[in-house]
């Protein structure tokens, strides 16, 4: 009898032990980041969650640089980006039989993720109602533009431009790529070059971001090719793939940040070919010409022999796409 | 220019970003490499017939050359073209000799 009780106790311990193992959570701290809070239910709520206006007081220069960059208007762009969202819905989602999108009213967050994974990563932290609000705003903006209703178009542009890649996207939400090894980004912490206390009411701590000056930081969006994690994979920017598979094998050893932020002296105004600084740095062109008088009795074919050397000094193919 | 493959299959180019899932061809400038191209630009000549023979003579001893490196983000000169580099030179051909 006593022996049976011992056996039962051992079995109970074994089962409890197994249950404890089964109960051990994965992704410890996954529920802590700003991204894990209850989903934002409006554009205004989403903007408020990632509101970085309190950064400006101390980081005016970085803010002013950023404001000139396309990161500051990642949904609206020059207007062309907003228009491409519309095209992607009409020519893409609405055309695909299994997408479930028959009209713009059917668009959910998941349908926008082909674009917003990079153009607005924080949309993953919002409800489908926000996706609808974005779609409606883009449609209304487009209609206002076509009617030359400038006031309305500007108002809607302002709404769309309030959705962007701001300080908190890079310095908090997307600051850690390897969350199991380094932990999840904390909602009270900004990640940069220092650690310690941070003079801010909401983000009271600073932590050294392990990838802040590494190319992988930019590679999260400036991409590798089709995103196979999506049900309808798409590829847009492929700069990081070119960096990894072409630039580095050729002996390149600079990071994205070294060229686009430091050597260019553009800081947070990260630019590409439209900036004089980047265009000059990226491509060298040498042309040699030689005039040649080709002749054969009465036939002459004088010509200029032109030799063009183009050297791409950038960390990726030009153009990337 | 990288030519993306429409939905990752076939020979059609994917136009919108939502269609891009492969690569059909890539003629972009590869990083840290030098691409060299040569071109023969002929001087204009006038061809006349004399004594049953065709004789060509040059109409100008100089030729104005322009080399322009354009980036066409949307594939045509009609849509937001970007002039990246430019080179101009006038080359001369000799007028002496047989």
Give the whole-angstrom CA distance, residue A168 versus residue A86. 27
pLDDT-based confidence at residue A8 (cuts at 50, 70, 90): low
Q: How high is the pLDDT of residue A10?
A: 55
Token pair recorded at residue A113: 């993720």
Give the whole-angstrom CA distance, residue B54 versus residue B47. 6
Q: Which A-chain residues 12-71 have CB contacts (< 8 A) with chain B?
A: none
Q: How high is the pLDDT of residue A5?
A: 56
- CA A237: distance to chain centroid? 10
| Per-residue burial over A189-219, b = 16 or more CB atoms within 10 Å of its CB, e = otherwise | bbbbeeeeebeeeebeebbebbbeeebebbb
Searching chain A, which residue's CA lies closest to the CA of residue B6? Answer: A234
Residue A209's alpha-carbon distances to A41, A192, B54, in angstroms, are 30, 5, 77
Q: Between A102 and A3, where is the model more confident?
A: A102
Number of folded domains that form chain A:
1
The answer to whether the beta carbons of residues A50 and A170 sit under 8 Å apart is no
Task: For strands A205-208 and A189-192, give the pairing.
Answer: parallel
Q: Summarize pLDDT for A181-194 with one digit per residue, the tens.
A: 999 999 999 999 99
Q: Mean of the per-residue pLDDT values for chain A? A: 92
Give the residue-averaged pLDDT of A153-173: 98
The answer to whether the beta carbons of residues B13 and B26 sit under 8 Å apart is no
Give the long-range contacts of residues B42-50, CB within 8 A, separation 24 or more. B42/A301, B42/A302, B42/A303, B43/A302, B43/A303, B43/A304, B43/B93, B45/A300, B45/A301, B45/A302
A229 within some domain = yes
Q: How high is the pLDDT of residue A19?
A: 53
Q: Summarize pLDDT for A12-62 with one digit per residue, the tens.
A: 555 555 555 556 678 899 988 999 999 999 999 999 999 999 999 999 999
Nearest to A291 among B16, B54, B92 (CB): B92
pLDDT-based confidence at residue A214 (cuts at 50, 70, 90): very high
Q: Between A19 and A320, where is the model more confident?
A: A320
| Residues in B touching A232 (Cβ below 8 Å) | 18
**φ/ψ (deg, to 5) at A284:** -110, 135
Give the whole-angstrom CA distance, residue A189 versus residue A172. 7
CA distance A308 to chain B (A): 5
Q: How high is the pLDDT of residue A18?
A: 52
A290 within some domain = no
Q: Summarize pLDDT for A259-268 with one digit per residue, the tens.
A: 999 999 999 9
Q: How high is the pLDDT of residue B97?
A: 77
A301 within some domain = no
In tens digits, chain B (98 residues) has pLDDT values of 889 999 999 999 998 889 999 999 999 999 999 999 999 999 999 999 888 888 888 899 999 999 999 999 888 999 999 999 999 999 999 888 77
**φ/ψ (deg, to 5) at B97:** 95, 170
Of A150-159, A192-201, A202-211, B71-80, which range is least confident?
B71-80
Q: Is the pTM higher than 0.80?
A: yes
Contact call for B31 and A115, based on CB within 8 A: no
For chain B, helix, strand, coil in percent to 5 are 5, 55, 40
The answer to whether the beta carbons of residues B41 and B62 sit under 8 Å apart is no
A208 within some domain = yes
Give the whole-angstrom CA distance, residue B37 versus residue A132. 51
For chain A, what is the largest distance between any 2 Cα atoms, rounded to a whole number of angstroms? 122
Give the residue-averaged pLDDT of A96-111: 98
- CA A116: distance to chain centroid? 8
Neighbours of B38 (CB within 10 A): 9
For chain A, helix, strand, coil in percent to 5 are 50, 15, 40
Boundaries of every domain in chain B = 1-30, 37-98
| Residues in A touching B22 (Cβ below 8 Å) | 226, 235
The answer to whether the beta carbons of residues A240 and A218 sit under 8 Å apart is yes
pLDDT-based confidence at residue A4 (cuts at 50, 70, 90): low
The answer to whether the beta carbons of residues A133 and A114 sit under 8 Å apart is no
At residue A116, the 3 state secondary structure works out as: helix
Exposure of B49 by Cβ count < 10 A (0-12 exposed, 13-18 middle, 19+ buried)?
exposed
| Residues in B touching A317 (Cβ below 8 Å) | 2, 26, 28-31
The answer to whether the beta carbons of residues B43 and B63 sit under 8 Å apart is yes
Searching chain A, which residue's CA lies closest to the CA of residue B75? Answer: A319
Q: What stretch of H or E contains A61? A: helix A60-67
Q: How high is the pLDDT of residue B57?
A: 85
Give the whole-angstrom CA distance, residue A139 versus residue A133. 10
Contact call for B31 and A285, based on CB within 8 A: no
Highest mean pLDDT among A22-26, A47-51, A232-236, A299-303 belongs to A47-51
A10 within some domain = no
pLDDT-based confidence at residue A295 (cuts at 50, 70, 90): confident
């Amino acid at each position: 009898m006593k022996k049976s009780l011992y056996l039962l106790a051992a079995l109970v311990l074994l089962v409890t032990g197994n249950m404890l193992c089964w109960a051990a959570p994965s992704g410890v701290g996954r529920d802590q980041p700003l991204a894990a809070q209850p989903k934002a239910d409006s554009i205004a709520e989403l903007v408020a969650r990632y509101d970085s206006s309190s950064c400006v007081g101390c980081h005016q220069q970085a803010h002013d640089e950023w404001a000139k960059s396309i990161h500051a208007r990642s949904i609206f762009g020059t207007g062309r980006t907003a228009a491409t969202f519309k095209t992607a819905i009409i020519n893409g989602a609405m055309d695909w039989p299994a997408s479930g999108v028959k009209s713009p009213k059917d668009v959910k967050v998941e349908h926008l993720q082909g674009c917003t994974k990079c153009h607005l990563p924080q949309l993953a932290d919002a409800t489908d109602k926000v996706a609808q609000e974005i779609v409606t705003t883009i449609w209304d903006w487009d209609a206002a533009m076509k009617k030359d209703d400038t006031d309305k178009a500007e108002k809607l542009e302002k709404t769309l431009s309030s959705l962007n890649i701001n300080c908190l996207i890079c310095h908090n939400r997307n600051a850690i790529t390897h969350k199991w090894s380094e932990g999840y980004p904390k909602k009270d912490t900004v990640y940069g070059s220092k650690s310690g206390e941070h003079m801010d009411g909401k983000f009271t701590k600073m932590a050294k971001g392990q990838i802040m000056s590494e190319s992988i930081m930019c590679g999260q969006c400036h991409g590798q090719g089709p995103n196979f994690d999506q049900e309808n994979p798409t590829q847009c920017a492929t700069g990081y793939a070119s960096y990894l598979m072409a630039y580095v094998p050729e002996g390149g050893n600079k990071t994205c940040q070294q060229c686009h932020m430091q050597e260019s002296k553009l800081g947070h105004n990260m630019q590409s070919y439209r900036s004089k600084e980047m265009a000059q740095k990226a491509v060298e062109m040498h042309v040699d010409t030689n005039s040649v008088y080709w002749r054969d009795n009465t036939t002459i074919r004088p010509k200029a022999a032109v030799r063009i050397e183009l050297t791409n000094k950038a960390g990726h193919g030009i153009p990337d796409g | 220019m990288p030519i993306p493959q429409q939905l990752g299959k076939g020979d059609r180019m994917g136009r919108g970003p939502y269609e891009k899932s492969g690569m059909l061809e890539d003629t972009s400038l590869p990083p840290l490499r030098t691409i060299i191209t040569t071109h023969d630009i002929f001087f204009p000549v006038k061809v006349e017939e004399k004594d049953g023979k065709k004789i060509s003579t040059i109409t100008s001893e100089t030729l104005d050359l322009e080399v322009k490196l354009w980036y066409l983000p949307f594939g045509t000169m009609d849509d937001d073209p970007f002039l990246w580099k430019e080179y101009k030179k006038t080359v001369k051909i000799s007028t002496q000799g047989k």
